[in-house]
Amino acid sequence: MTQFAIVTPEKESDYGWNQQGIWAAQAAADELGIKLDDNSNVGYDNTETILTQVAEAGNQLIIAHASGFNTAGHRVGMQTGVPTLVVDFDKNEPGKVATVITQAQEGAYLAGVAAAKKTTTKTVGIVASAEDLNWFLMAGGFAQGVYSVDPTINVVVAYVGPAGYGDSAGGSTVTTQVIAAGADVIFGMGDGATIGYLQAIETADVGYPISYIATIGDVTEIVEDPDMVLTSVLWNFKDSYVAAIKDVEAGTFGTKTYELTVENGGLSLQDTPSLTGDIATAVDEAKAGIIDGSVKVERATDTQAVQKIIDSKGK
């Protein structure tokens, strides 16, 4: 392989999903010594046309980096024959289409443990920009992690909308709501909405500090006070991308699904100055439990499943 492409809906400046995908693709390209064709910020309109154009531009693999691209990506891979890697799809096609998934609930469980050890108000919040599979998995995993430490902690959740990924104003509104409910640790899943989450926390006047846990990327450089960031659930796609490229070259692409897990390092908590002492110890113990199988994290795949976990209080 000499060239592959990544296609993302937003810019890498979201400090989350798009950034991590682009960075991982470039890291894979650098490791393997091949060219990356970066097609970022294409939005969600005319996805199939855009992916087809990318397929016709000499790329030998397309990474369609958005859950909202999976149907169009599958179709383009089947029609053009250019191997296409999609997200959260349910069917691989040998030689043409493969999927990458995250066991996102595992990383979020670790974040929940950290939040439970950090909170002093005994209320923690979840804010999500959209109603999608990864955010459901994360929300459910986070609540389970919280309750593993202290089932009396109150977990509140708010959604920006069905697909408010880039809605920073909506992000600010829902974060203000969970702060008003008493949350002093907020777990945010956003893309562009992340900016709104951070603004709401930075301008809150509640008389006690509020900590933020990010998802997918590193937000420390865009906050006024980096100590506000307790940690982030980092998603590292590089190894999955390298494996997909090698599978294309070997003729085995589309015969397996690629996963990000805590065990393989695809999911981890970011080291920060705040992630120390008892918090770090509890996180390390939970991580070891996930890896050895003694900790099982339930997958929540819709809003009802998330709410059921929250209402169960770990029972």
For 283-309, the pLDDT digits (tens) are 999 999 999 999 999 999 999 999 999
Are 86 and 157 in a shared domain? no
Q: Is 30 helix (H, G, I), strand (E, B) or coil?
A: helix
pLDDT per residue as tens digits for the range 200-228: 999 999 999 999 999 988 888 888 888 89
Q: What six digits make up the tokens of 60?
A: 């030998």
Report pLDDT digits (tens) over 134-169.
899 999 999 999 999 999 999 999 998 888 877 889
What are the start-end ranges of the H helices in the chain?
17-32, 47-55, 70-80, 104-118, 133-149, 168-180, 194-203, 238-250, 277-292, 303-312
Clarify whether residues 147 and 288 are in a common domain: yes
Read off the CATH number of the domain in which 131 is found. Answer: 3.40.50.2300
Q: What does residue 129 show for φ and ψ, rounded to 5 degrees?
A: -80, -20
Distance CA 220, CA 232 (A): 9
Asked if 85 and 26 count as a contact pair (C-beta separation under 8 A), the reply is no
Termini Cα distance of the chain: 51
Per-residue pLDDT band for 314 (boundaries 50, 70, 90) equals confident
Residues 305 and 136 sit within 8 Å (Cβ to Cβ): yes
Predicted pLDDT of residue 220: 84
Token pair belonging to 15: 């400090």
| pTM of the full structure | 0.89
Contacts of 199 (CB under 8 A, 6+ apart): 168, 172
In this structure, the chain runs to a length of 315
Joined tokens for residue 12: 């890498």
Residue 221 CB burial class (10 angstroms; 0-12, 13-18, ≥19): exposed
Which residues, other chains included, contact 46 with Cβ-Cβ below 8 Å and sequence gap of 6+? none
Give 93-112 pLDDT, tens digit per residue: 999 999 999 999 999 999 99
Same domain, 271 and 167: yes
Q: Which helix (H) or strand (E) holds 87?
A: strand 84-87
150 and 277 inside one domain: yes
Of 222, 245, 260, the last residue of a domain is 260
Same domain, 305 and 157: yes
Q: How many domains does the chain have?
A: 2
Residues 69 and 93 in one domain: yes
Same domain, 99 and 110: no
Indicate the helix (H) or strand (E) that contains 230. strand 229-235
Phi, psi of 230 (to 5 degrees): -70, -45
- What is the chain's Cα-based Rg? 19
Whether residue 184 is found in the same domain as residue 280: yes
For the cut 80, the answer to whether the pLDDT of residue 15 exceeds it is: no
Amino acid at 61: L
At residue 16, the pLDDT reads 82
Same domain, 108 and 91: no
Range of the domain at 68: 3-103+236-260
Average pLDDT on 32-55 reads: 97
- Indicate the pLDDT class of residue 115, thresholds 50, 70 and 90: very high
Same domain, 122 and 62: no
d(CA 228, CA 210): 7
User: Does residue 154 share a domain with residue 93?
Assistant: no
H runs (alpha helix) in 81-234? 104-118, 133-149, 168-180, 194-203
| 31 and 151 part of one domain | no
Say what the pLDDT of residue 20 is: 92
